[in-house]
């Protein structure tokens, strides 16, 4: 079984999607948790906790929580309250638990909400959070596309809103905000005008207005901030702060480097964008051309696909229990990291700045897309790689190491 550090017991196959009792402190460089006030079981306590400050953060993924910690470090914001709107996915839940421990180690309060734990969960969650929302002076959020977050935004009077990165989705969010469009995820196919969309439309419209800067001279000003490592052109009125992963670099590493090459996985198959057979062939070709030995799985990749990938490529499959930026910064990590278009082509060069690690990205060929892929998919993916800085761009999956354009 692959451990968080990226090692594997002899003869092990694909690791299970979630391993209970594998705390983040097993990673070297992660100290034991201090002043813990909530349980560490599969479901953390949801007991109400009074916020020590007027800052309330909402996260639904490990990357969002990592970027909240980066924002707090940069903004020197002490003791904020982080609300985890826990998803169903076991891998995501596991990584969120590890990140929650790190957040507590930094002195922040973490409130774990089983926001999707049954038909009554949304009502219970919203009811329990309403007093905190009413008192909050600043809201920090990781996913403006989330219906949960959009609903919660309608309940707060906070005039200071900060959006932290939710990966490459941030690029699409800013584009839609600048164009005044509805907030729709880039990989979503269809009009987005189903019965549920129409029912939720009033909340979505209110949230979009809350996230849109007030026109100059407006009677009630509101501050809209973006904390991002993505290359974005924001509309007037949005204050941008660059996320350069200073907290990650200060907290972890420098990493131990191996002589090998690592591949970073993607969930483009699971989201219906890329054909599974084409993807596996691309991974096999990359591994053969560059001598890769390990494959760091995305938290949303299916176990069946990973089993097939391991059998057909011989790659060691590693399921990290923290976001890859932290795993890579800790090491051991290969001197060359290969990725398809994804968030890590923007974030890993920042997290690994000052090391000898090189990050390279392989474009998605249009023939790999499924018939169900959104019409916007190819253009969006091309934009992800085309705007990436400090990475080597491969011209094809089979391109030998050393021949790629810079």
Angle, CA of 189, 191 and 197, to the nearest 5°: 105
Within 10 Å of residue 104's Cβ, how many Cβ atoms?
Answer: 18
Closest CA to 135 of 51, 76, 42, 61: 51
What the block records as the tokens of 286 is: 């990359």
State the DSSP string of 265-317. Answer: ---TTTTTSB-HHHHHHHHHHHHHHHTEEEEE--TT--HHHHHHHHHHH-PEE
DSSP-derived letter for residue 177 is H
pLDDT the model gives residue 40: 37
pLDDT the model gives residue 193: 60
Global confidence as pTM: 0.83
User: Exposure string (b/e) for 338-367, b if CB count within 10 Å is 16 or more?
Assistant: bbbbbbbbbbbbbbbeebebbbbbbbbeee
State the DSSP string of 134-151. Answer: HH-SEEEES-TT-HHHHH
DSSP H or E stretch at residue 225: strand 223-228
Residues in the chain: 406
Q: Could you give the count of Cα atoms lying within 13 Å of 6 in the half-sphere of its Cβ?
A: 28
User: Exposure string (b/e) for 182-206, b if CB count within 10 Å is 16 or more?
Assistant: ebbbbbebeeeeeeeeeeeeebbee
Q: Which domains does the chain have, with CATH numbers?
A: 31-244 (3.40.50), 252-394 (3.40.50)
pLDDT the model gives residue 403: 37
pLDDT tens string, the chain, 406 residues long: the values are 354 444 343 334 454 444 333 333 333 333 333 333 343 344 454 444 444 458 999 999 999 999 999 999 999 998 899 999 999 999 999 999 999 999 999 999 999 999 988 888 988 999 999 999 999 999 999 998 888 899 999 999 898 999 998 777 788 888 888 887 777 765 554 445 666 777 777 878 888 888 888 766 566 667 899 999 998 888 888 999 999 999 999 999 899 999 999 999 999 999 999 999 999 999 999 999 999 999 999 999 999 999 999 999 999 999 999 999 999 999 999 999 999 999 999 999 999 999 999 999 999 999 999 998 988 889 889 988 888 988 999 866 655 444 333 3
Distance of alpha carbon 257 from alpha carbon 189, whole angstroms: 41
pLDDT the model gives residue 283: 97
Phi, psi at 274, each rounded to 5°: -115, 140
Closest CA to 247 of 33, 101, 36, 67: 67
Contacts with 199 (C-beta within 8 Å, 6 or more apart), sequence order: none
């Amino acid at each position: 079984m692959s451990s968080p550090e990226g090692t594997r017991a002899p003869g092990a196959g694909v690791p299970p999607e979630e391993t209970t009792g594998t705390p983040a402190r097993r990673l070297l460089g992660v100290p034991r948790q201090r002043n813990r006030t909530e349980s560490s079981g599969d479901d953390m306590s949801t007991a109400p906790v009074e916020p020590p400050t007027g800052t309330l953060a909402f996260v639904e993924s490990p990357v969002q929580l990592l970027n909240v910690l980066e924002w707090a470090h940069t903004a020197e914001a002490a003791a904020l309250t982080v609300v985890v709107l826990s998803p169903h996915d076991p891998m995501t839940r596991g990584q969120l638990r590890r990140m929650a421990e790190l957040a507590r180690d930094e002195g922040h309060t973490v409130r774990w909400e089983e926001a999707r734990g049954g038909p009554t969960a949304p009502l219970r969650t919203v009811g329990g959070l309403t007093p905190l929302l009413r008192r909050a002076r600043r809201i920090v959020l990781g996913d403006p596309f989330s219906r949960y977050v959009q609903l919660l935004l309608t309940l707060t009077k906070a005039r200071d809103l900060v959006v932290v990165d939710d990966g490459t989705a941030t690029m699409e969010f800013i584009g839609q905000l600048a164009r005044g469009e509805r907030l729709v995820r880039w990989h979503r196919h269809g009009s987005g005008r189903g019965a549920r969309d129409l029912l939720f439309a009033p909340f979505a419209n209110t949230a979009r207005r809350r996230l849109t800067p007030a026109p100059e001279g407006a009677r009630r000003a509101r501050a809209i901030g973006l904390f991002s490592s993505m290359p974005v052109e924001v509309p007037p009125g949005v204050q941008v702060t660059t996320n350069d992963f200073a907290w990650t670099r200060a907290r972890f590493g420098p990493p131990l480097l191996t002589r090998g090459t690592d591949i970073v996985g993607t969930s483009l198959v699971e989201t219906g964008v890329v054909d599974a057979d084409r993807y596996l062939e691309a991974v096999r070709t990359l591994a053969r051309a560059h001598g890769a030995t390990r494959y760091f799985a995305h938290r949303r990749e299916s176990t069946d696909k990973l089993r097939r990938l391991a059998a057909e490529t011989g790659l060691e499959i590693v399921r990290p229990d923290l976001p890859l930026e932290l795993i890579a910064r800790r090491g051991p990590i290969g001197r060359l990291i290969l990725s398809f278009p994804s968030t890590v082509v923007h974030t890993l060069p920042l997290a690994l700045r000052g090391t000898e690690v090189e990050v390279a990205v392989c474009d998605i060929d249009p023939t790999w897309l499924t018939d169900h892929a959104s019409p916007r998919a190819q253009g969006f993916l091309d934009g992800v790689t085309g705007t990436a800085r400090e990475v080597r761009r491969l011209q094809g999956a089979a391109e030998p190491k050393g021949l790629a354009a810079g």
